[in-house]
Amino acid sequence: MTTAERPFPHRHLLGIAPLAAADLERILDLSERFVELHERPIKKVPTLRGRTVINLFFEPSTRTRVSFEIAAKRLSADAINVSAAGSSTGKGETLVDTAQNLMAMHPDVIVVRHGGSGAPALIAKHVDAAVINAGDGTHEHPTQALLDCATIRHHKGQIAGLEVAIVGDIEHSRVARSGILALAKLGARVRVCAPATLLPPGIEGIGGEETAARVRSFYRVDEAVEGADVVMMLRIQGERIGGAPRFANTREYARFFGLTEAVLRRAHPEAIVMHPGPIQRGVEIVPEVAEGPRSVILDQVSRGVAVRMAALYLLGGPEPGAEGAGAGGGG
């Protein structure tokens, strides 16, 4: 059986934690077939014709929301976008009521972004549709981790054995959490780096023994980046940091934790530079590096569409192998 034919034994995509390495590889392999589709003049396949995908976004988003919408449309599904500003939760409706009302309209997939950790899992308990987590609070952002892995695999050939540095606001980053879990499951070594005030103690063990052996904490960016194959920078999640400030000011943060050309010279000469966006230029990364020859930041965005197509296909589509279900076929 090829990986493309392997069954995907999950009803929802709520996080990386419940997935096995084989599940991650299944999505990555499938996404490569969809990347080829993006190079064709007609970028659409009929796979999800007649299916309905609701994008339910309670937090601001540019990349992720557009990416899911394009992914659904390229699979010929009907995509409906609901943003919190225009939804009834602002009128006091509970999340479960919103979900059940949407369900009464029979969508096949609900893609959820929410400020509360666990919100997509709660919705999944109350609806029949497949639920995809598009980022929940500080918990997980599984499709971001998958698109990051797809990008790394494309540029580096494989993920096992790589040294990946993740630098920034680790504490509030769902991208970091999902990334650590996915990279460790696929055999990379992960170095997480932040000021001590933004690096939760015990982060190495978030995936149990599987991550504890593969993840190390660093408090100096030059040490974290030394010899790394991949350098992933993260934004300070100001909107999630309440109470006392965690560092003196952004200038000082940039000086001690920002990625400059000098810091990047410590990495492997063929290291790639990544960032999930949105970038705060001059804070966690200088523009010369974000746009420099090692940067694959826009490639991450392109691969995001293919990865989300793969997720929608596996969770919302006909069983693989069913008539007309060919991922790359049709016009």
Are 327 and 33 contacting, i.e. CB atoms less than 8 angstroms apart? yes
- Which residues, numbered 69-108, are part of the site for ligand NCD (CB under 6 A)? none
Helix (H, G, I), strand (E, B) or coil at 78: strand
What is the Rg, in whole angstroms, of the alpha carbon atoms belonging to the chain?
19
The Cα–Cα gap between 207 and 228 comes to 22
Determine, following the binding rule CB under 6 A, whether residue 135 of this chain makes contact with ligand NCD. Answer: yes
Which residue, 310 or 327, has its beta carbon nearer to ligand NCD? 310
Q: What is the closest distance, in whole angstroms, from the C-beta atom of residue 143 to ligand NCD in the complex?
A: 9
Would you say 32 or 136 has its CB closer to ligand NCD?
136
To the nearest whole angstrom, how small is the minimum distance from the Cβ of residue 330 to ligand NCD? 30
List C-alpha distances in Å: 233 to 82, 173, 175, 303.
30, 11, 10, 18
Q: Would you count residue 144 as binding ligand NCD (CB under 6 A)?
A: yes
Is 191 a binding residue for ligand NCD by CB under 6 A? The answer is no
Q: Is 2 exposed, middle or buried (0-12, 13-18, 19+ CB in 10 A)?
A: exposed
- Sign of torsion over alpha carbons 285, 286, 290, 293: negative
- Binding track, positions 165-184, relative to ligand NCD; x by CB under 6 A: ---------xx---------
Of residues 6, 10, 38, 63, which one binds ligand NCD by CB under 6 A? Answer: 63
Would you say 33 or 177 has its CB closer to ligand NCD?
177
Strands (E), the chain: 52-57, 78-83, 109-114, 130-136, 163-167, 189-193, 215-218, 230-233, 272-274
67 near ligand NCD, rule: CB under 6 A:
no
**Dist CA 146 CA 153 (whole Å):** 10
Question: Taking the complex as a whole, how short is the minimal distance between the CB of residue 132 and ligand NCD, in angstroms?
Answer: 13
Q: How many helices (H) and strands (E) does the chain have?
A: 12, 9
Of 33, 51, 235, 308, the residue at the interface with ligand NCD (CB under 6 A) is: 235
Cis peptide before 278 (omega within 30 of 0): yes
- CA dihedral 304→307→311→314, nearest 10 degrees, is 160
Q: Is 141 in the site for ligand NCD (CB under 6 A)?
A: yes
CB of 135 to ligand NCD, least distance (A): 5
- Residues that bind ligand NCD (rule: CB under 6 A) add up to a total of 11
Q: Which CB, 137 or 320, lies closer to ligand NCD?
A: 137
Whole-Å CA distances, 250 to 197, 215, 238, 283, 284: 14, 27, 11, 6, 9
Q: Which is nearer to ligand NCD, 237 or 250 (CB)?
A: 237
Residues 238 to 297 in contact with ligand NCD, rule: CB under 6 A: 276-277
Asked if 33 interacts with ligand NCD (CB under 6 A), we say no
Using the minimum distance from each CB to ligand NCD, give the nearer residue, 87 or 237. 237
| 153 touches ligand NCD (CB under 6 A) | no
Contact predicate 57/291, CB 8 Å:
no
- Whichever of 162 and 170 has its CB closer to ligand NCD, that residue is 170
CB of 159 to ligand NCD, least distance (A): 20
How far apart (Å, rounded) are the C-alpha atoms in residues 172 and 217? 15
Please say which residue, 95 or 301, places its beta carbon nearer to ligand NCD: 301
Which residue number has the CB closest to ligand NCD?
235
Question: Following CA atoms 30, 74, 290, 159 in sequence, which dihedral angle do they give, to the nearest 10 degrees?
Answer: 0
Chain residues in the site for ligand NCD (CB under 6 A): 63-64, 135, 141, 144, 174-175, 235, 237, 276-277
